[in-house]
Structure 1
Amino acid sequence: MAEKAEAEYYSKDFEWEDLRRVVENDPSLRYHLTPFVSSSSCAAPAVEADAWRSFHRRHSAGKFFKERRYLLKEFPELIRISDPVKVLEVGCGNGSTVLPILRAKQNITVYACDCSEEILRKAEEIIATGSAISLVPRFFTFLLDVSVNDFPDWLFCTSCRRNSSPEPANFSSDSRGENLEMSHMSAFLREDQCCIGGVDFVTMIFTLSAIPFKRMPSVIEKCLSVLRPGGLLLFRDYGLYDMTMLRFLSEQRVGFCEYMRSDGTFSYFFSLDTARNLFLAAGFTEVELTYCCITSVNRQTGKSMQRVWVHGKFQKPV
């Protein structure tokens, strides 16, 4: 049963172009395709972050947790390296992405951030109880709204980024500052280190779509800044004409392909061109980019649903 569930995520059940023709020829869906005139009514950062915190509080129960076991098949690069690997999970939620990555190999350490303190505690709880082998020593969380704030210097300080040195530089002064919000700092940062020296992978799994479109370029640039040269950003998010997009009402549109739910949270639906332009403009090179088109069936109603996700891999130039 588990193998079948995993297969649903990386099979290709239909062609995106076929779906596009159906949607674009349906008069009832035409409002999704019309140009959108921007306004100043977009939610303020504090309100937006509060909406996601409220969302996480409502869905903090264990039933909401679905481990993303398919990730290692979609992104095998995570487990191909025998040397120690550092992964930054942006918008970790309850740890559904982190758990299978940590389980995969003992050489992987994951640093995870989210804008909700409650959901970070939930992720820590799930990681602590999610395996017979303790994964806690290789999992570190920190509170951050990446759509508003920069990553802290301890990830990859300015000096080390400039030198692109494989090892973090020594302290020349008290350069760590006051932004070391992560617990267990002594477990991974030596006294003679100013930062962890950057990460090998950044994972953004259904995270970017939750950020207002106008802030996406800066978020992607921030992700590029903490990657080591040659590092990969692994991306999966909602694709254009996904079933969820077609369910939004016209009054929920807040931009082109951008919607706001009744609870105040955002959802954006990416075309391949939009995703490509965003990442290339930030300085990444494209390794892989495609639509993932899945037909899933509602067990209660028997209704088929056409899901569309964008799957991408982008590399920081060496």
Structure 2
Amino acid sequence: MESVETFVDAAGIESPVRTDDYGVRILSQDEMDRLKDDRVVSEYKQQKLEKEAQKNWDLFYKRNTTNFFKDRHWTTREFEELKACRQFETQKLVLLEAGCGVGNCIFPLLKEDLNIFVYACDFSPRAVEFVKQNSLYSPERCLAFQCDLTKDDLRDNISAESVDAATLIFVLSAIHPDKMQHALENLFRVLKPGGVVLFRDYGLYDHAMLRFKSGNKLGENFYVRQDGTRSYFFSKELLTKLFHDAGFESMVNDYVLRETVNKKEGLCVPRVFLQSKFRRPPTLNNQV
């Protein structure tokens, strides 16, 4: 059985997008044909990409500096926990921004909320330096550090069970699927019981997934860009399993359909994201 989500483009023209009972976007025949290519990047190149992952992200920020991503002013609108998860009004909120990039999420939050402390970490040392160079950066309100989420780096900078909420926004998709669960287990350890992970990332059959050309596939729903950075496209089922296996419980986990206008190419394209909230159980029964 199908349902229809309606996009409204910049000109006010409605265009229906079909989804199945699970909210998964139904592809056109042309789109399905594009995904049929089974050729996968060689094992040697895949190992090289994994080994050079940090270097490739560092080069990304060297090329683009702070100009690639827009500031994310939507986080408090989409994730009310950034305002509501305090136990009392004067409590300082302790937030972890995992994969902070150059600070497009944390600096709007720091401007909006004076009673917040942010741990900001990123895989790229260059991105962390950009965060520290921002005029809004203050050691009293923010600690930025380089971190590999798939290793135990978080423990060196953040005490166990000390974080109220963590954001994971377009970050997990850049990690090799074999290492995703360990990254989530590391987040679990630093969150307080009852603490939440606020998640947004690429969903299955997002337009970006369909744009990859032959020769860029690394595995199921996993691709490499021309610059060597990688991206995974999540189904709800897989994301739920990853978080549950790491000890979390689900709060919200839904596909979000949006439309992006690409003026350069004259296209209005459907975007598919997963927007989710997972909680470390309030009790201590689920230790990892």
Residue 49 of structure 1: aligned partner: 54
Counterpart pick for 2:217 among 253, 259, 268? 253
Pair 1:31-2:24 in alignment: no
Pair 1:282-2:246 in alignment: yes
Deviation per residue, 1:137-178 (Å, 9 max, x gap):
211101112234431344124xxxxxxxxxxxxxxxxxxxxx
Tell me the SS of whatever aligns to 1:106: coil
Q: Using a 3 Å threshold, how does the CA distance of structure 1 residues 252 and 35 change in structure 2: closer, same or farther?
A: closer
Tell me the SS of whatever aligns to 2:259: strand
Shift of 1:28: 2.5
Residue 13 of structure 2: aligned partner: none
Pair 1:221-2:185 in alignment: yes
The letter of the residue matching 1:288 is: V
Q: Using a 3 Å threshold, how does the CA distance of structure 1 residues 315 and 35 change in structure 2: closer, same or farther?
A: farther
What is the CA RMSD across the aligned residues, in angstroms? 2.5
**How do residues 56-205 of structure 1 correspond to structure 2 at under 5 angstroms?**
56-60=61-65, 62-80=66-84, 81=86, 82=89, 83-126=91-134, 128-129=135-136, 137-157=140-160, 198-205=162-169
Residue 4 of structure 2: aligned partner: none
The letter of the residue matching 2:146 is: L
Taking the aligned partners of 1:104 and 1:135, their CA distance within structure 2 comes to 15
Shift of 1:117: 1.8
The letter of the residue matching 1:140 is: L
Q: Which runs of 5+ in 1 are unaligned?
A: 1-12, 158-196
Tell me the SS of whatever aligns to 1:251: coil
Residue 9 of structure 2: aligned partner: none
> Is 1:79–1:104's contact at 8 Å kept on the other side of the alignment?
no
Taking the aligned partners of 1:153 and 1:69, their CA distance within structure 2 comes to 30
Residue 8 of structure 2: aligned partner: none
Taking the aligned partners of 1:79 and 1:277, their CA distance within structure 2 comes to 28
More off after superposition, 21-30 vs 91-100: 21-30
Taking the aligned partners of 1:31 and 1:21, their CA distance within structure 2 comes to 15
Deviation per residue, 1:16-44 (Å, 9 max, x gap):
43873224674522426x69799464235
Higher helix residue share: 1
Residue 311 of structure 1: aligned partner: 275
> Is 1:283–1:316's contact at 8 Å kept on the other side of the alignment?
yes
In the superposition, the TM-score normalised over structure 2's length comes to 0.82
Residue 238 of structure 1: aligned partner: 202
In the superposition, the TM-score normalised over structure 1's length comes to 0.75
> Is 2:31–2:210's contact at 8 Å kept on the other side of the alignment?
no
Deviation per residue, 1:53-92 (Å, 9 max, x gap):
11111110x4324110111111011012321110011110
Taking the aligned partners of 2:157 and 2:188, their CA distance within structure 1 comes to 15
Shift of 1:104: 2.4
Q: Using a 3 Å threshold, how does the CA distance of structure 1 residues 239 and 24 change in structure 2: closer, same or farther?
A: farther
Shift of 1:295: 1.2
